[in-house]
Amino acid sequence: MSGQAPSPRIIGLTGGIGMGKTTVSDYLDKTYQLPILDADIYAREAVQPGSIVLEAIVNRYQSKILLLDGTLDRRQLGEIIFTQPSERIWLDEQIHPYVRQALSRDRDRLIQHSHQTIVLVIPLLFEAQMTDLITEIWVVSCSPDQQIQRLMQRGALSLEQANARINSQMAIAEKRDRADVVLENTSTLEDLLEQVDRAIDHPFSPNSTKSYG
């Protein structure tokens, strides 16, 4: 017997906006106690007061892009980047290197602490070309109608804003094509979570794309 440790399983969880990433990662956290690294949290960290990214943003849009307390006015920035694609590309170029480096650093720390399965939630996994950080791609997917309905129910976005965000991302069909595991979130929560149970029980082998729906 060789004493080599098995390679860690690094799940990259993605999908369209509002399709169910957080629902799945919360479940993996609570039910399986898996460590979760969330790209959105690092993306917020990247623009904290004093950061070089926030400085670049202020240089580009002037200090009117800040709230009175000196933090980024995310709502205003959202209006800019989701109506002007070139500005979104510019912003992504500022933020993604920080997110990649932080995800990679914390993933490696978890591996050093002997975690065998780690989950990276990366909404822009493909768009930001971060698939090299993981060993297995899970895409949570639902229909366009369900996506809009769930986003509207959450109440934070108008229909126009929701559509602008959806259209800024890679089409879900393309994400599904690149998935190792597709989680069909088209029915009940129970149905979704049963698919997660099955996917966790069967680590991806590179021979087939699995759909648990």
**Residue numbers at the binding site for ligand ATP (CB under 6 A):** 15, 17-23, 123, 150, 154, 185, 188-189, 192
Distances in Å between the Cα of 168 and the Cα atoms of 12, 99, 128 are 20, 19, 13
Please name which of 27, 28, 30, 31 lies closest in space to residue 10, comparing C-alpha atoms.
28
HEC letters along 36-92: EEEHHHHHHHHCCCCCHHHHHHHHHHCHHHECCCCCECHHHHHHHHCCCHHHHHHHH
- Give the residues across from 182 on adjacent strands: 139, 211
15 in a labelled binding site? no
H or E segment and range at residue 205:
none
3 in a labelled binding site? no
Pick 17 or 66: Cβ nearer ligand ATP: 17
Least Cβ distance, residue 184 to ligand ATP (angstroms): 10
- Neighbour-count burial for 26-39, b at 16+ CB within 10 Å, e otherwise: ebbeeeeebbbbbb
Least Cβ distance, residue 157 to ligand ATP (angstroms): 9
Residue 204 contacts residue 136 (beta carbons within 8 Å) = yes
Pick 52 or 171: Cβ nearer ligand ATP: 171
19 in a labelled binding site? yes
Pick 122 or 192: Cβ nearer ligand ATP: 192
Pick 133 or 142: Cβ nearer ligand ATP: 142
170 in a labelled binding site? no
Collapsing DSSP to helix, strand or coil, 208 comes out as coil
Pick 116 or 167: Cβ nearer ligand ATP: 167
Least Cβ distance, residue 27 to ligand ATP (angstroms): 10
* Number of other residues whose CB lies within 10 A of the CB of residue 8: 15
188 in a labelled binding site? no
Least Cβ distance, residue 75 to ligand ATP (angstroms): 15
Token reading at 175: 């994400």
83 in a labelled binding site? no
Least Cβ distance, residue 154 to ligand ATP (angstroms): 5
Q: Which residues are annotated as a binding site?
A: 18-23
Q: Which residues are annotated as a binding site for ATP?
A: 18-23
